[in-house]
Amino acid sequence: MVELRYLKYFLAVAETGSFTRAAADCFVAQSALSQQVARLEGEVGARLFHRTSRSVRLTAAGELLVPLARRILAEVDDARAELDALTGLRRGRLRLGLIQTAGGATDVAAVLGEYRRRYPGIELHVRTAPSTEMVAAVAEGTLDLAVVGLVADRATPAGLVRQVLARDPLVAVVPGAHPLAGRARIALTELAGAAGEYPTLIQGARGTGLRHQVEAAFARAGLAADQSFEIGQIHDMVRLAAAGVGITVVPRSAVRGPGSCESLTTGAAVLALTDEQAVNEVSVVHDAARLSPAGAAFLAVLGIGRVD
């Protein structure tokens, strides 16, 4: 029978590409880790790594084992969480994926605060990444659930449940000297036609729901979105637009209302869009078949489902 620590050490080597770094991450001696990986190779009857003096690479068998090992370890964690549920959620772990929350239409920070108050014994592991990556992590079992910007025209992976939390209209942020700065509402075709000194579209990171939504809005307008300027944080996108670097399109709640970066729009104009489909749709994604009690409790705090 394959021992779980063999899989843990195998994944550590696969993810770091180094026996030395994997041993350090797992707090074991390198010789001990190497022995455990060798035993795993004996158990499965195949070499898992190509080893040279300079590199460590997965073999075909190793590539096949990576997702299986991740799922096995995730299911063991889920089983432990189920057992912890017998103690009334006094212990356990929640692995949560989270998009940028500042000024969001759904105040996930407040939800996390309430969750912490209700379940102080639950260990929180929060990860921020592009929505596509976090959805894949939920499908893989390395996240329990994720709050993402997954839009309706993108199919939810098989086995996952997506529930919409909020639909936040997109707005354009333009420099104060922009020809359209005095308007309250514009079409993207007008924005492109009046680009003038501000042709640059300041985009969010690839793989994010916001990036996909902005590009979809430009496509509906028959336009190609500029791909040359990419920034990871919404507040930086707004600051650059206000500084006259270019224009940007962001969720309205990011620049208006409590918790937003409205103060950064000084010297800029915020314009509504005529495209009613241009929205930032915030959803929570989870695997209902193996949702942990800690995950179910988080959904309940969000107002989805309940905890018995």
Q: Where are the domains of the chain?
A: 4-75, 79-165+282-302, 168-280
Residue 165 neighbours by CB distance under 10 Å? 19
Pseudo-torsion of CA 245, 247, 251, 254, nearest 10°?
Answer: 30
For residue 145, give the nearest of 304, 280, 296 by alpha carbon. Answer: 296
Structure tokens at 263: 């103060």
Task: Provide the β-strand partners of residue 89.
Answer: none
pLDDT for res 16: 93
pLDDT for res 15: 92
Q: Which residues of 251-266 are buried (b: 16+ CB within 10 A; e: fewer)?
A: bbbbbeeeebbbebbe
Task: Provide the β-strand partners of residue 172.
Answer: 249, 271
Q: 């639950």: which residue's tokens?
A: 122
pLDDT for res 307: 41
String of DSSP letters for 228-281: S-B-S-HHHHHHHHHTTS-EEEEEGGGTSSTTS-GGGGTTEEEEEES-TT-EEE
The CATH number fitting domain 4-75, selected from 3.60.15.10, 3.10.20.30, 1.10.10.10, 1.10.260.40: 1.10.10.10
pLDDT for res 92: 78
pLDDT for res 308: 38
Question: Does the pTM of the predicted model rise above 0.75?
Answer: no
CATH number of 168-280: 3.40.190.10
Structure tokens at 215: 């590009």
H or E, element range at 125: strand 123-127
CA dist list (Å): 163 to 27, 51, 143, 150:
39, 45, 16, 10
Q: Cβ distance 266 to 242 under 8 Å? A: yes
pLDDT for res 168: 86
pLDDT for res 83: 64
Block means of pLDDT (10 residues each) for the chain, 308 residues, are 84 93 88 91 92 89 93 80 60 84 65 89 88 89 87 70 88 92 91 74 86 90 87 89 92 83 90 92 88 88 65
**For residues 37 and 11, what is the distance between their CA atoms, to the nearest angstrom?**
10
pLDDT for res 306: 44
Give the ranges where the chain is alpha helix by DSSP (H): 4-16, 19-26, 30-44, 60-85, 108-118, 131-140, 188-193, 209-220, 234-242, 293-302
CATH class of domain segment(s) 79-165+282-302: alpha beta
Q: Do 4-75 and 168-280 agree at the fold level?
A: no
pLDDT for res 226: 82
All residues at 6 or more sequence positions from 304 whose CB lies less than 8 Å from its CB, including other chains: 163, 284
**For residues 39 and 236, what is the distance between their CA atoms, to the nearest angstrom?**
50
Residue 274 neighbours by CB distance under 10 Å? 13
For residue 146, give the nearest of 158, 131, 156 by alpha carbon. Answer: 131
